[in-house]
Amino acid sequence: MTDYTSTDPIGQGIQWLGDAQNWEGVNGIPTRLVEHLGYGALTLLISLVIALPIGLYVGHTGRGRVVVVSLAAMFRALPTLGMITLFALLSTLGLMPAIWALVLLAIPPLLTGVYAGISSVDRAVVDSARSMGMTEWQILFGVEVPNGLKVMLGGFRGGVLQVLATVAVVAYLPLGGLGRYLIDGVSSNDYGQVFGGAVLIAVLAIVIDGLLALLTRFSVSPGLRVTARPTAATVGSEKTVANDTSVIGVQGGTS
């Protein structure tokens, strides 16, 4: 335990983060960080396997929209800690009860993001692709997914942040992760540890959000990011058409 010289929780948190012994061993910050990311990655993998095909199907066909929206709203309202406790009681203590509870939290933003991304594609573009003889699979992955990728990545980004911020509750079972510092700190009245753990979780979420923002920026096709500007020839032709129209209008009025 860190020997604090400050009585302020913020000062104690800074001292806790600066204590070298908190960065070493099986209970050190690097180990807890890897555990935290591992829990989040497993949750997102399972959630994507469930949400991605459903979202693609609903977005492409338009079937089941009401069901998707209703289920997403219902899952968002579920208390994560309560679901972890319920799954633990129904099965056994371990990793998977907590993971399944987090999956229920991660599915709504992922599912709605995929569905909204596919649905946001201009139907005229889709109809044009279909009239060219493209199959439904070619339309989905060659037209709808590239055009709706930005919205889809936005849903993925929201799901990742929710999982990383909430995965700390798995320490309640008890398991590892950065949430271990919150649970242990509260039980031992070590508020420096609590503050330090909260800062680590917040910084991790900010860093991951920044990386996902860069991923979103560079994953979207440049043709979909750049707004077309009118060329000089286009502007000149528009002025010519406007002048011709005005002349015709004048001639028609004097005849």
pLDDT digits (tens, 9 = 90+) for 4-48: 887 888 898 899 999 889 998 888 999 999 999 999 999 999 999
Contact between 193 and 29 (Cβ < 8 Å) = no
Q: Where are the alpha helices (DSSP H) in 120-176?
A: 123-131, 136-139, 145-166
3-state DSSP assignment of residue 3: coil
In this structure, is residue 168 part of a structural domain? yes
CATH of the domain at 172: 1.10.3720.10
Q: What average pLDDT score do residues 177-196 get? A: 91
Write down the pLDDT at residue 96. 82
The reported pLDDT for the residue numbered 254 is: 42
Classify residue 214: in a domain, yes or no: no
Q: What is the pLDDT of residue 234?
A: 43
Whole-number Å distance between alpha carbons of 111 and 217? 21
Evaluate whether residue 206 is within a structural domain: no
Q: Please list, in sequence order, all residues whose beta carbon lies within 8 angstroms of the beta carbon of residue 231, skipping any fewer than 6 positions away.
A: none
Residue-level pLDDT at 255: 39
What range defines the domain where residue 101 resides? 31-178
pLDDT of residue 198: 93
**Token pair in block for residue 79:** 């208390």
Within a domain: 40: yes
Instruction: Look over the chain and give the mean of its residue pLDDT values, rounded to a whole number.
Output: 82
What's the confidence (pLDDT) of residue 66? Answer: 85
Percent of the chain with pLDDT over 70: 85
Q: Please report whether residue 190 resides in a domain.
A: no
Give the C-alpha separation, 245 to 66, whole Å: 49
Question: Looking at residues 131-146, what average pLDDT do you find?
Answer: 90
How many folded domains does the chain comprise?
1
What confidence tens digit (pLDDT) does each residue in 205-215 have?
999 999 999 98
pLDDT of residue 44: 94
Helices vs. strands in the chain: H and E counts, helices first: 12, 0
Q: Is pLDDT of 155 > 70?
A: yes
Whether 57 is in a domain gets the answer yes
Residues 6+ apart with CB under 8 A from 50: 103, 107
More reliable by pLDDT, 226 or 203: 203
Task: State mean pLDDT over 219-226.
Answer: 65
Residue 26 has which token pair? Answer: 């099986």
Would you say residue 154 lies in a domain?
yes
| Long-range CB pairs of 54-59, under 8 A, 24+ apart, other chains included | 54/111, 54/114, 55/110, 55/111, 55/112, 55/113, 55/114, 55/115, 55/117, 55/118, 56/114, 56/118, 56/140, 56/145, 58/115, 58/118, 59/114, 59/115, 59/116, 59/117, 59/118, 59/119, 59/144, 59/148
Does the structure show a pLDDT above 70 at 57? yes
The verdict on residue 207 lying in a domain is no
Helix, coil or strand: residue 39: helix
Closest CA to 223 of 149, 160, 128: 149
Query: What are the residues whose beta carbons fall under 8 Å from the beta carbon of 124, sequence distance 6 or more?
Result: none
Maximum Cα–Cα distance for the chain, whole Å?
A: 98
